[in-house]
Chain A
Amino acid sequence: MATAPLNDKCPLAPPLSAERPVQWPRRTYSRLSNGMEIVLAESRAVPKFTGQLFFRAGNAALSVRATGLAEMTAAVVRTGTAKRTSRQIEEDLRRIGADLSSGAGMDTTALSFDGLAEFSEPLLAMVSELAREASFPEGEFERERRHTLESVRIERTTPSFLAGERLRKTLFGSHPYALVSPSEAQVQAYRLEDLSAAYQEIYSPAHALLVMVGDFQAETMLRQIEKIFGGWTGRKPAAKTFPAPPKLRGRGVSLVHVPGSVQTQILCGCPSITRKHPDWLRLALTNSIYGGAFNSRLVMNIREDKGYTYSPRSGVNPLREHGYFSISAAVRNEVVAASLAEIFYEMERMRALPVPEAELADAISYVSGVFSLGLGTQSGLLSQLGTVALNELPEDYLETYRDRVRALSASDVLYAARGYFDSANMQITIVGDRAQIESQAALYGEVAVYDAQGNVIQ
């Protein structure tokens, strides 16, 4: 949607009124004797509830065995238990109007579900069954394998995927965060017994976290949870240590060659902080001024003013052990160098000059307002509570968030930009047709060229 330019006749927007107070939902924190942590929040806007059963291990923990193994295991967990076939699972979910999915990221595995409040018991019973008694049917495994093969083939034709994969390899080296997706050969090599072993290791109450938000009475819900999950036992998986990511000095340039590509995907990044870091909020606000929001400097510059790209964006990606900062833009082939010039110009401006007060005030309203909006639904609240619990943030993190954002100043923004927008050591990844973009990329450093499969090409 294009933004109409303001003209002289256009009245000024009325000033913002003060933020309204948030009614914080009642929360209950507890832990079962088997180690499972529980966070419950009552929220009664609709007669439903939503929840996630997290395990604090994901693809990174299993990467020594196979890339993407936790994700594949999660997919097959959903397809059968000792008591129910895949089809019965679907029918039983339908009967109670519920949805249930399973998945794994780098650091966690999760069963996610939502349903009508009156059917919490059968839904939680199914979650428990999947977490404890998954049966790994051979036929379902092969079906998921075919499905995954299809997905990984499609990924390799997607510029944003190729850029992300290459940047992660550059930033994380031999740390498992470098491995974002398996190859076809790796998917072909998964064996059912690898999945069962991964299941035995990861799906344990000893490192599980159950977060639920919805229309229930917390004490009653806790008793139901104890009844369903109380008898579950399991050991905490051994803590894994991973190799440190490389210390990168100077700008590096990687080009993934996609012959005939009509546009170029740019993705620049550098190491950054995790959610736990005391500078997280400072950096979040700084990012929203730079390129994290629609009215941010980068978007206004290379989209609205110059028209190089449709949707540039920057963000801080907080993985558990290491975060990274990244800037992405899909641009026309002839403006690759020009776009990079603006990306770095806006970064340097953030590092050199304090942000004007009016711009700061807008950004604070935006960051604080988006946060409040996100708390307005059961699923939004669930996501915030999950983030707090998984990152072991203080219990009053949400209550104090808006005050802490409002307390930030132009010097906080300057501090964060100087500390974390590591312009001199930014790693540049571009994906597109080499013939059209390599000489532009070379203006920024020595170019390493790869094909879509990740092989170095000369």
Chain B
Amino acid sequence: MGDVFDYNGPMQMVTRIMHKPEISDAATLEEFDSVIREIQEHGLAADELEPLKIKFRSDYYSMLEGGMMPRYGLMHLLACFTLFDGDPQLVNTILDGFLAVTREEVQAAANKYLRREKRAIVFRQPASTGKEAA
């Protein structure tokens, strides 16, 4: 699937975790769950949201500059906003919505969308070769 912007409709949220062989899948998953549980029950810490927004803003500008060729990101977003919203100007304003998100909204979204019964997990395990890598 694409990124935060290039779709129009229901989207998967995917988390990839690669863990060391000495730690079990179950223990890794429990760590993952505990992070989500914390947000569902208590929300973000008071000083947690602002730095996230700063990083998001910084990454958004980098995305405009970067991509498969120089400034591909800007072209890509202009195309997405024209295709899905008929409004290429969104490239200049879309950030405002992200920067207005509140801690309460993050907590509500975690409770609404990050639900176990909606979740599918794929475990990918390397086949044993029976010998150490040379």
**Chain A residues near B (Cβ < 8 Å):** 45-48, 94-98, 114-116, 153-154, 156-157, 373-374, 376-380, 452
Contact = CB atoms under 8 A, between A and B. Distances in A.
B13 to A, nearest CB: 21
Nearest to A451: B134
B71 A376 contact: yes
B32 to A, nearest CB: 20
Given A156-B134, A380-B70, A116 B65 contact: no
A379 B73 CA distance: 14
| 7 interchain residue pairs of minimum CB distance | A97-B58, A46-B61, A97-B54, A376-B70, A377-B65, A97-B55, A95-B51
20 contacts: A45-B71, A46-B65, A47-B61, A48-B61, A48-B62, A95-B51, A97-B54, A97-B58, A97-B59, A115-B58, A116-B57, A153-B133, A154-B133, A373-B70, A376-B70, A376-B71, A377-B70, A377-B71, A379-B65, A452-B134
Nearest to A92: B51
B64 interface: yes
B66 interface: yes
Contact of B134 (A46, A48, A96, A157): A157
B58 A98 contact: yes
B62 A114 contact: yes
A390 to B, nearest CB: 21
A154 B133 CA distance: 8
B45 interface: no
Interface residues of B, number: 17
Nearest to A372: B70
Contacts of A47: 61
Contacts of B134: 156-157, 452
A94 B51 contact: yes
A333 B28 CA distance: 42
Interface string B54-87: 1111110110111001110000000000000000
A97 B57 contact: yes
Contacts of B133: 153-154, 157
A374 B65 CA distance: 11
Interface of B: 51, 54-59, 61-62, 64-66, 69-71, 133-134
Nearest to A376: B70
Given A373-B70, A377-B65, 13 more contacts: A46-B61, A47-B61, A94-B55, A97-B51, A97-B58, A98-B58, A116-B58, A116-B61, A156-B134, A374-B70, A377-B66, A380-B70, A452-B134
Contacts of B64: 45-46
Give the one of A46, A378, A380, A452 with max B CB within 10 A: A46
Nearest to B54: A97
A392 B130 CA distance: 54
B25 to A, nearest CB: 21
B95 to A, nearest CB: 11
A48 B66 CA distance: 13
B133 to A, nearest CB: 6
A379 B59 CA distance: 14
Contacts of B62: 46, 48, 114
Contacts of B71: 45, 376-377
A116 B61 CA distance: 9
A115 B70 CA distance: 18
A377 B64 CA distance: 9
A256 B71 CA distance: 41
Contacts of B58: 48, 97-98, 115-116
A98 B61 CA distance: 12
Contacts of A374: 70
Nearest to B56: A97
A23 to B, nearest CB: 15
Contacts of B51: 94-95, 97
A209 B69 CA distance: 27
Contacts of B70: 373-374, 376-377, 380
A97 B51 CA distance: 7
Nearest to B61: A46
Contacts of A379: 65-66
Nearest to B55: A97
Contact of B54 (A45, A96, A157, A376): A96
A229 B69 CA distance: 34
Contacts of A156: 134
A97 B55 CA distance: 4
Give the one of B59, B64, B66, B134 with max A CB within 10 A: B134
A423 to B, nearest CB: 34
A378 B73 CA distance: 14
Nearest to B60: A46
B130 to A, nearest CB: 15
B66 to A, nearest CB: 7
Contacts of A46: 61-62, 64-65
A453 B53 CA distance: 48
